[in-house]
Structure 1
Amino acid sequence: MAGLHAVQTALDQSVLNPIEPSSTRWLSMEASVRRLKDTFVSVLISLEREGEERGDAKAIGLFHLMSTYRFISTMLLLCDLLPHVSNLSKALQASDFEHSLVKPLVSSTVSTLRQLKTVDGENLRSLPDLLDTLEKSDVTVKQRADDHDFFTEHVKGKYIDRLMSNIEQRFPSEDVGLLSHFAIFDPHRMQVNQTADYGQEEVKSLSEHFLQKPDQPNVTADAVNEWTNFRNFAKDSVLKQPDLKAQSIIDLLCTKSVAQHAFPHLSKLAKIYRVLPCHTADAERTFSQLKIIKTVPRNRLNQASLDGLIRIAVDGPPVHEFDYQSTVQRWAQKKNRRLCRK
């Protein structure tokens, strides 16, 4: 690492360390590839120097691999592709993610990848400049006559095809389309769309998929009728609230007993929407907080204290928004406490 830092300093570059990708956190791949691209010239020079001066076999092998046209072009291709896939993954992991957005997000990502198959991205277009920089730095890039055609046909094209296929298999169009139907519960859409048939086809599709049973043939028709009544109910109640939120209608159908009795089928659909497992990021965040809170020195935390601390860390307000004064006052008023006077 010291040799890399010395080369970066000599080249008047920022002193940056390589980022090792994690096998369990695949999003780290983007940061790793980006860092390699940003430090690529200094890394190659450092590897070549280590191989020549110290006879380091690993450094020699890495230099021969990384100084090829195919490796460099593949690295730049990943710099163009990975941000789009990473952004899709991050959007799906948001704690307040709306299921209705799955379809447009997946569709736009696949369309962007398909476009990058025919039109080089910004990083891949910079390949000639990077090769020129390496040549000026006395780094010889090994290139065969057919490398460009081989990369275009057998690396770039096939990799993007497999990537798009993998995304489409993970998000089948019929399932993604069904999730998008839940958008009818968005109160802002209900305010804008006042047509008489708004949401009827979506409720019908959702009911047929989630609620319809052989011994209850009228469930779908009942749900559609409920929807007509519920729209009038929401217009006179929920939609008039000043602090209207995207989840207001879902919360009403899930938590208010009056709404659950008046609209039983829509209430079931709302509860199904609440528990649809779009991602496991929230559970993973909780386990991460558990590791931070229950450390080896704090191994005697009882279950109640641990549960409270995790709830505060996961669901609590930001530190700068918490009202410490009122909390201390409430705590002091719960019972008479002995004050330590000195």
Structure 2
Amino acid sequence: MSQSNLTSFFRPKRKDTDEGEMSDNVAPTVAAKNHDTDGESEQASCSSNMINPIGKKQKLAQTFSTKWRINRPWLKYVPNEGMYCTYCQKQPHSRSTAWRKTPSVRIRLQNVKEHEETAEHRDSVKAEMAATQSQNVAKLLTNPENISEDGMVQAFKCLYFLCKNNIAHTTNFPKLLELEKLLGIDIKQKISKGNNAKYTSNTAIRDMLQSVSDVIETEILDDIKNSDAYALMFDETTDVSVVEQMVIHGRYINSTGDVSVKYLKVLDALELQSTDMNELDDCFISLNADAVSQKITDYIESNGLPYEKLRGIGTDGAAVMTGRLNGAVKQIIDRQCEKQKDTNDPHKLVALAIGQHCAAHKLNLAAKQAGTNFPVIQKFKRVVKSLHAFYSRSAVRTKGLTAVQNLLKDSLEIESDSKSGSGKVKNPAETRWLALGECATKLKGIVGSVSVSLEREAEERGDAGAAGLVNLMTRFDFLATLCLMCEVLPTINRLSLQFQVSHINFSTVSTSLAATIAILKAKKEVDLTGTISGLEAQGIKIKTKLTIPEEVANFRIKTQAPFIDAIIDNIEARFQNSEFLASFSKIFNPQSYGTSKVQPDEMCSHAAKLCEQFGLPKDTAINEMKDFIFYVQAAGDINLSQSDFLTKLTIKSDSNVYCATFPSLCKLAHIYKVLPPHTSDCERDFSQMKLIKTDIRNRMGEDTLDYLLRINIAGPPIEQFPFGKAVKLWSEKKDRRYKVRLV
């Protein structure tokens, strides 16, 4: 073998898998395996900045790999020239021309890494990052890809409209946007960016809904915290999903000195507080006083409501709420006392709330229980329920009754509204406060047609039930009781409606009660002869043993007068003022300050008692009361009604002399106004809940129900809602890919 052959035989062979020499089509796994070793091992003696001489062509040392560009956006390769650094090229004042004006022809990974470590390259990277950041800021301000505030406001208005009108928002929000598009208002295009940022998903809609609700809730909670006094009202019910829901309402003095009543929260009263079965306590499984009080105190403390300003707690009067020793109200007041105590100051004044039983509930109980001792009234209720069941369970019977009404034309109401079914017998449901009175009034107007309809059913169809009912309802006792109910119950119903007004206070309750009792006493002597005789004009054959006047006289003695007396006694027994309400009524009744009636020592005693209960300095109040008596007399306010007098004391104005001169007594006046006389607002919430959480929406979550109730009950009209604030809150809740351009 010749010398040349030996040289070629022992010459090191070129490795195909060498990182620095492999071509672009080399398998990625092989390239990755030799990523850092092979490229560094070959030709270490070559200059890292080998430059082509001018006018001479030089063969490139190695082959460029596109994988070197990974995490190196600055690396640029020009075939047959070499490698450049685009970051260094942007720096005109760089001292070196390598990689900037003249390419690097040493096509090796090690050469690229060496350039990365140079100071000039690092300075170029920093300059590039600073320039990019400035461009991003400018892009956020002018980027057409961002969402306009106008588009989001319009989308929020559509969502608010759906929620306000109890329309399923999740399924109908995208459809409403499509309808707007057909009408020429393409809201969807304004808020949609790309293929995956359309803001019509369930999650996006829920975020919008929460933002709207949070705006309303924040404003209400801020008003309560800044108020001079507030009270809480709560009640519970079972929804369509058989979930025990507790609704909380707040009653507080607003910035003008008036009373505001607002929805606060709905809570799952039986929600488990622990997932560990060994840690579950009975109070979280049954709706007892512990569970109720825990829910309320958790809400107060989690929202930062001041215990020292809590003045009243309104409930429906159930034993679990008002128990004297361990009721929910008692436990809440104990917690209130505990939170205000200061170990460093044992003489610190502590404000305590007082519990109140709903006046509307008490009135309903007084009227309902008054009839329990009168068999004729109990029998009347059973007959009316049987009449309602007889017609409500058969469309044929109901249609027959309507036909009879059209023929007889019992009244103008039935004649004009018979097609709507207004002539039906109503259900005297005991759970509804006004049901029996409304039922009696309606039945009196159609009793003739009902009698004829029952006779027809008995004769033509042989219906024994109809025959029995017509026999019962044509007796004198039934008809006399019907007329008595129509005389008495509308008066009770009018008083109940007054008690259900949101902003009513105890001064109005006392006045309305006194007037109603006077009216009831007068009705004891009402002669029902004419009323009962008028029923004969409707074709009823009244069955009596004596003449109608004689029957009426006996009925007045045995039933009419005793029944009304029982109602009055029950009302007076249930509406006895507590010692605190009695003191309030005495102090803030201007007639108490008449020259001949006023007793300064008694007035001072009432003021001291109230100050001690509500954590106010009683010495200051007593001193104010001594001058207050003469001021009321001198101002000529003794002839005002109690309600007007309270308004004069609590109005917030620089010209209100009472507030400036008698601040402690005016604070007591605010407390008197804020005490909740009823929980009717909670009952209205239950009605609204049935419209929102229906059978087809029975899987609605607790938070969503809370948002929708707050928007429906406490949300202002759509033209008054601050949608810009809601959009801003929604935009800031999370770091969104597309920002809202807030104007």
Name the amino acid aligned to 2:441. Answer: R
Pairwise CA RMSD: 3.9
Show the counterpart of 1:83: 490
Among candidates 30, 33, 40, match of residue 447 of structure 2: 40
Show the counterpart of 1:147: 551
Name the amino acid aligned to 2:553. Answer: D
Name the amino acid aligned to 1:141. Answer: I
Show the counterpart of 1:125: 530
Secondary structure class of the residue paired with 1:289 = helix
Among candidates 192, 209, 224, match of residue 622 of structure 2: 224
In 2 relative to 1, CA 201–91 (structure 1 residues): closer, same or farther, beyond 3 Å?
farther
Higher share in helix: 1
Show the counterpart of 2:562: 158
Once residues 37 and 85 of structure 1 are traced to their aligned partners in structure 2, the CA distance between those partners, rounded to angstroms, is 18
1:308 partnered with 2:713 = no
Q: Give the C-alpha shift of residue 251 in structure 1.
A: 8.2
Q: Give the C-alpha shift of residue 173 in structure 1.
A: 6.0
TM-score by length of 1: 0.72
Gaps of 5+ in 2: 1-397, 632-643, 653-658, 732-738
Cα deviation 1:142-181 (Å, max 9, x = unaligned) = 0111522321111111111111111111112676654534
In 2 relative to 1, CA 2–301 (structure 1 residues): closer, same or farther, beyond 3 Å?
closer
Cα deviation 1:202-230 (Å, max 9, x = unaligned) = 963543544448xx9x9644323245789
Name the amino acid aligned to 1:154. Answer: K
TM-score by length of 2: 0.36
* Greater gyration radius: 2
Show the counterpart of 1:241: none
In 2 relative to 1, CA 246–37 (structure 1 residues): closer, same or farther, beyond 3 Å?
same
Q: Give the C-alpha shift of residue 295 in structure 1.
A: 2.9
In 2 relative to 1, CA 57–203 (structure 1 residues): closer, same or farther, beyond 3 Å?
farther
Cα deviation 1:33-78 (Å, max 9, x = unaligned) = 1110010100111111212222222211211111012211211111
Once residues 297 and 279 of structure 1 are traced to their aligned partners in structure 2, the CA distance between those partners, rounded to angstroms, is 32
Name the amino acid aligned to 2:526. Answer: V
Gaps of 5+ in 1: 233-243, 253-258
Once residues 724 and 618 of structure 2 are traced to their aligned partners in structure 1, the CA distance between those partners, rounded to angstroms, is 53
Among candidates 436, 461, 468, match of residue 29 of structure 1: 436
Name the amino acid aligned to 1:143. Answer: T
Once residues 673 and 431 of structure 2 are traced to their aligned partners in structure 1, the CA distance between those partners, rounded to angstroms, is 29
Name the amino acid aligned to 1:97. Answer: I
Secondary structure class of the residue paired with 1:278 = coil
Show the counterpart of 1:12: 409
Among candidates 686, 697, 702, match of residue 287 of structure 1: 686
Q: Tell me if structure 2 keeps the 8 A contact 1:30–1:79.
A: yes
Secondary structure class of the residue paired with 1:126 = helix
Q: Tell me if structure 1 keeps the 8 A contact 2:611–2:621.
A: no
Q: Tell me if structure 1 keeps the 8 A contact 2:611–2:618.
A: yes
Q: Tell me if structure 1 keeps the 8 A contact 2:625–2:665.
A: no
Once residues 727 and 713 of structure 2 are traced to their aligned partners in structure 1, the CA distance between those partners, rounded to angstroms, is 25
Higher share in strand: 2
Once residues 221 and 304 of structure 1 are traced to their aligned partners in structure 2, the CA distance between those partners, rounded to angstroms, is 48
Q: Tell me if structure 1 keeps the 8 A contact 2:588–2:645.
A: no
Q: Tell me if structure 1 keeps the 8 A contact 2:624–2:665.
A: yes
Cα deviation 1:84-140 (Å, max 9, x = unaligned) = 11111111121000211122211110110101112337xx63222222x14xx3x42
* Identity %, equivalent residues: 30
Q: Give the C-alpha shift of residue 200 in structure 1.
A: 7.0
Among candidates 190, 204, 207, match of residue 604 of structure 2: 204
Q: Give the C-alpha shift of residue 31 in structure 1.
A: 1.2
Q: Tell me if structure 2 keeps the 8 A contact 1:103–1:177.
A: no
Q: Tell me if structure 2 keeps the 8 A contact 1:182–1:273.
A: no
Once residues 622 and 522 of structure 2 are traced to their aligned partners in structure 1, the CA distance between those partners, rounded to angstroms, is 41
Once residues 69 and 219 of structure 1 are traced to their aligned partners in structure 2, the CA distance between those partners, rounded to angstroms, is 64
In 2 relative to 1, CA 181–41 (structure 1 residues): closer, same or farther, beyond 3 Å?
same
Name the amino acid aligned to 1:54. Answer: R
Show the counterpart of 2:719: 323
Once residues 315 and 140 of structure 1 are traced to their aligned partners in structure 2, the CA distance between those partners, rounded to angstroms, is 54
In 2 relative to 1, CA 9–202 (structure 1 residues): closer, same or farther, beyond 3 Å?
farther
Aligned residues: 299
Q: Tell me if structure 2 keeps the 8 A contact 1:100–1:181.
A: no
1:172 partnered with 2:576 = yes
